[in-house]
Amino acid sequence: MKMTKLLMVVLLIPVLVFGQTEERPRYATGKGKKHRNVTDEMGQKQGVWKTYTSSGQLSSDVEYLNNQRHGLTRTYYPYEKVLEEINYQYGVKEGEYKKYYYSGQVSVEGQYVAGKKEEKWTKMYSDGTSQWEGTYKRGQRDGDWKYYDRKGNVSASSTFKNGVDVKAAAEQKASDDKKKAEADKKKNAGKTPAGGKPGGTTPTPGMPKDSTIKAAPPKAPADTTKK
């Protein structure tokens, strides 16, 4: 039994060693020529994979585990200046996110949880001051959001619930209700009352249609004082 297991291990070693392939990234230049993108014996990407543009500029480096993004993924501006950094766990965005201006100043930063934006997110102007800030809940804007001008003053604010601007939604509903009421009023104004003319009154059943004929005056009550 032990000999059988030993034999199986010995037979697997060449597969594990020689089944893995390594290749230099296409269009790689300079120190990039030394890097190797690794594919295992199952054809799955492993480790850091680098890609280059046709002009030889580094475009991205991605950490893989069993063909899934796992770890840090970076994309680049020309001359290897970082554009974006995203963390993954088994192919799903998880953890810190950052985007940069060409100068290296952070442009946007926030967090991902289970592939969706979560908690506080902030966008900055190129000088590092806040442009807007707010929170996400399960990928949707939620809570108070503030927007700033370049001097740091609050230029606008909104409150969101499940991705919907609460104030804007209320104003839209009020506008829709007003339009509906006006439409109903116009519709009713054009209707002809039953048995009458537009704008007229419905005659009393049993009464003549000629409004010039008056009903007889009521009789005076009997004089109970005569004997």
Query: E strands of 32-124, at which residues?
Result: 37-39, 45-52, 58-65, 68-77, 81-89, 92-100, 106-113, 116-124
- Asked whether residue 54 falls in the same domain as residue 121, the answer is no
If one counts the domains in the chain, the total is 2
- Report d(CA 219, CA 221) in Å as an integer: 6
Angle at 161 between CA 157 and CA 162, to 5 degrees: 130
State mean pLDDT over 178-191.
86
Same domain, 62 and 114: no
Q: What pLDDT was estimated at residue 187?
A: 87
11 vs 107: CA distance, rounded Å: 53
Band the pLDDT of 91: cuts 50, 70, 90.
very high
- Of 62, 90, 118, which residue is a domain's last? 90
DSSP state of 32: G
**In-domain check, residue 68:** yes
Do 128 and 173 share a domain, yes or no? yes
Give yes or no: residues 121 and 146 share one domain: yes
The answer to whether the predicted template modeling score (pTM) of the entire model surpasses 0.75 is: no
On whether both 68 and 136 belong to a single domain, the answer is no
What are 188's two structure tokens?
């009713």
Whether 155 is covered by a domain: the verdict is yes
**What is the mean pLDDT of the segment spanning 49-77?**
98
pLDDT value of position 2: 54
Q: Rounded to whole angstroms, how far apart are CA atoms 187 and 200?
A: 17
- Whole domain around residue 160: which residue ranges? 105-181
Neighbour tally for 88: CB within 10 Å: 21
pLDDT confidence band for 146 (50 / 70 / 90): very high
Average pLDDT along the chain: 85
Domain boundary residue, one of 140, 165, 181: 181
Q: Could you give the 3-state DSSP secondary structure of residue 107?
A: strand
